[in-house]
Amino acid sequence: MRGLKGPGKGGSRNSKPRYLFRLILFIAGGVTVAWLVTAITHIVQTHQRQDQAQNYYAVNQDVSVYDTREDVQTAVPIREEETPASAGAAFTSEVNSKVKCPPNRRPYHVLLTAQSSTYQDWQARIMYYHFKKQRRLNPCTEMVNFTRLVSSKDGLPDALADEMPSIFTKSIDERDLATKYGGFGVLNRPKSVVEMVNTPWMMERIPEEYVFVAETDHVLFKDIPNLATETMPAGYKFGYMQKNSAFNQIIKRHWPQGAWNMTDQTGPSPLIIHKKQLIQVAQPWLDISLALKQDPEADHSFGWVLEMWGYVIAAASIGIKHTVLDHFQIEPANLNRLAPDFWKDFYIYHYTYGIEYTLHGAPMMNTIGEWSLDKRHYGSSYPPKNLQLPPAEGVAKTNAAATWLTSAFNEATAHTDNWPTNPTLGTVGCAPAATPPSAPS
């Protein structure tokens, strides 16, 4: 009965510590049980995700690829009805023996780098449509096969896995991406390439000797020949990747033997490169990109093109020099004045910039236009079908790029199965219309 006595006499001195100790044990036990339940649940879910991925790839292991041997020089046109896609598989197509192709043809594989998100999914579908269109129009194309290289959570297949040939790699851990790398998701591109080149079964799905590294916001104007050689990749001349002596110390920190004037004015996409060189550059491209992001000066100086600098520094550090082409692609914006046949001078439309006009065709700068075509409007939903064309007056009338891109979107969405129908705003309505000027009195 001693332990039940109240304050004052008879052992009350020890009762509080004893009860406190028991309370601590009780709480600790509860926390331990909760932790065990969480851990077991995580393990079960992880195994379920792994099983899902393994089942997906097991079903899609037996695939056919286009034969690119030198003695096989017949065309492989795309049929109107595409075969079901499989993980990283090339198209399964019928050889048309009636079409003879040049004996010096050098086939390459289109590698569309992407992240698994609504934003990049709809872009990938538009890009894939125009790839297939160019394949149909050019039966002797060197652009023979296609794989979407996808960075996804746990490397799991996504909703487009059965629509287009795809390979899935594990994206950077979300917590690491947020805390170490400032949420810079573009770093998943070199990471996915590294995982691909280090995984034999993934590389088996790319039988060609050359690879074209493409982006989801590319639309093909026409067939692209193999612009690379075995020792010299072909890339685009980006205006914002100019050599700059102010970057010398940054470059030397991450490549001690290098200097500011030793990098090429290009980037990792669009890029046609021999597979051996892609394998060589992949790891240093990733390593330098990650290091640059954790370098405050580099992060501030390079900004949103940091991963591109990671690539060019890595390429230069291992002796890769590029053929740098002005005409590989075009990146139009509001103020361009382009003739209707402008597309003949380029291979790719890269819609990295929005195009903004008033409803009377005047450019609108640093704001959303009354008529607006900008991929950033569709970060969480698909753009609708049948977008309204740009105004047929003012500067808009002289910029054929705006009409071309809108028409390319409309064509792709009209011919892509199961394109979502939703109330998302189109090219008109994202910004309030201005009051038209009154007529002079």
Q: So where are the chain's domains?
A: 108-329, 356-415
Higher confidence at residue 178 or residue 53? 178
The structural architecture, per CATH, of the domain 108-329 is Alpha-Beta Complex (3.90)
Q: Is the peptide bond before 157 cis (omega within 30 degrees of 0)?
A: no
Triad 125, 130, 133: Cα angle to 5°: 125
Number of helices and strands in the chain (H, E): 11, 14
Q: How confident is the model at residue 16 (pLDDT cuts 50, 70, 90)?
A: low
pLDDT digits (tens, 9 = 90+) for 236-291: 999 999 999 999 999 999 999 999 999 999 999 999 999 999 999 999 999 999 99
Q: Can you tell me which residue has the tokens 């400032």?
A: 182
What is the average pLDDT across 386-405?
95
Q: What percent of the chain has pLDDT over 90?
A: 72
Q: Global pTM?
A: 0.79
pLDDT of residue 40: 53
The CA-based dihedral angle spanning residues 46, 47, 49, 53, taken in that order and rounded to the nearest 10 degrees: 140
pLDDT digits (tens, 9 = 90+) for 329-385: 999 999 999 999 999 999 999 999 999 999 999 999 999 999 999 999 999 999 999
